[in-house]
Amino acid sequence: MNFKNELNKIAEEAFQKAGFDPKYGKVTVSNRPDLCEYQCNGALAAAKEYHTAPIKIAEAIAPYFLENGAFSKAEAVAPGFINLDLSTAFLADFAAGMADSPKFGMELPAPRRILLDYGGPNVAKPLHIGHLRTAIIGESVKRILRYTGNEVIGDIHLGDWGLQFGLIIEELRDRRPELPYFNPEFTGEYPKTAPFTLSELEEIYPAASARSKTDEAFMARAHERTFLLQKEDPATVALWKHIMALSIPDEKRLYDYLDVHFELWRGESDAAPAVPEVVSIVKDKGLARVSEGALIVDVMEESDKREVPPCIILKSDGAALYQTTDLGTIILRMREFDPDMMIYVTDKRQELHFTQVFRVARKAGIVRPETELVHIGYGTMNGKDGKPFKTRAGGVMRLESLISEVEEAVREKMRERYDDEELNEDTVRLVALAAIKYGDLSNQAAKDYNFDIDRFASFEGNTGPYILYTIVRIRSILKKAGREEIVPGDLSVLRNAAPGCKELLKVLAGFTDMMDEAAGDLAPHKICSYIYQLSDAFNSFYHETPILREEDDALRNGYLSLLALVKCVLEDCIDMLGFSAPEKM
Which positions touch ligand ARG (CB under 6 A)? 117, 120, 122, 157, 159, 326, 344, 346
Supply the minimum distance, in Å, between the C-beta of residue 266 and ligand ARG.
Answer: 10
Tell me which residue has its CB nearest to ligand ARG.
Answer: 120
Taking the least distance from each CB to ligand ARG, the nearer of 117 and 251 is 117
Cβ distance to ligand ARG smaller for residue 93 or 268: 268
Q: How far is the CB of 353 from ligand ARG (least distance, A)?
A: 7
**Residue 2: which of 567, 509, 570 has the closest Cα?**
509
551, 494 in Cβ contact below 8 A? no
CA-nearest of 409, 311, 404 to 360 is 311
CA 174 to chain centre: 43
Helix (H/G/I), strand (E/B), else coil: 68: coil
Report CA torsion sign: 527, 533, 535, 537.
negative
For ligand ARG, the closer CB: 198 or 264: 264
**CB of 573 within 8 A of CB of 531?**
yes
Helices (H) and strands (E) in the chain, counts: 22, 13
Please, what's the b/e burial string for 519-530 (b: 16 or more CB within 10 A of its CB; e: otherwise)? beebbbbbbbeb
Pairing label, strands 341-347, 113-117: parallel
Nearer to ligand ARG, 342 or 570 (CB): 342
Residue 277 neighbours by CB under 8 Å, 6+ apart:
328, 331
Please compute, for residue 521, the number of CA atoms within 13 A of its CA located in the half-sphere on the CB side.
14
CB of residue 350 to ligand ARG, shortest distance in Å = 6
**What single-letter amino acid sits at 202?**
E
Minimum CB separation from ligand ARG for residue 519, in Å? 22
Q: What SS3 string covers 151-213?
A: EEEEECCEECCCHHHHHHHHHHHHHCCCCHHHCCCCCCCCCCCCCCCHHHHHHHHHHHHHHHH
CA-to-CA distance for 492 and 494, rounded, in angstroms? 5
In the complex, minimum distance from the CB of residue 99 to ligand ARG, in angstroms, rounded to a whole number: 41
Residue with Cβ nearer ligand ARG (83 or 346): 346
- Closer by beta carbon to ligand ARG, 153 or else 432: 153
Q: Least distance in Å: CB of 326 to ligand ARG?
A: 5
Residue (315 or 483) nearer to ligand ARG, CB? 315
Q: Which are the contacts of 263, defined by CB distance < 8 A and separation ≥ 6?
A: 153, 154, 155
Minimum distance from CB of 360 to ligand ARG (Å)?
A: 14
Q: Which is nearer to ligand ARG, 211 or 348 (CB)?
A: 348
Residue number with CB closer to ligand ARG (93 or 117): 117
CB of 397 to ligand ARG, least distance (A): 16
* Closest by Cα among 400, 403, 407, 401 to 425: 407
Residue 369 host element (H or E): none
Minimum Å gap between C-beta 467 and ligand ARG is 30
What is the nearest approach in angstroms of ligand ARG to the Cβ of residue 402?
18
Identity of the residue, 343 or 474, whose beta carbon is nearer to ligand ARG in the bound complex: 343
Are 531 and 434 in contact by the 8 Å Cβ rule? The answer is: no
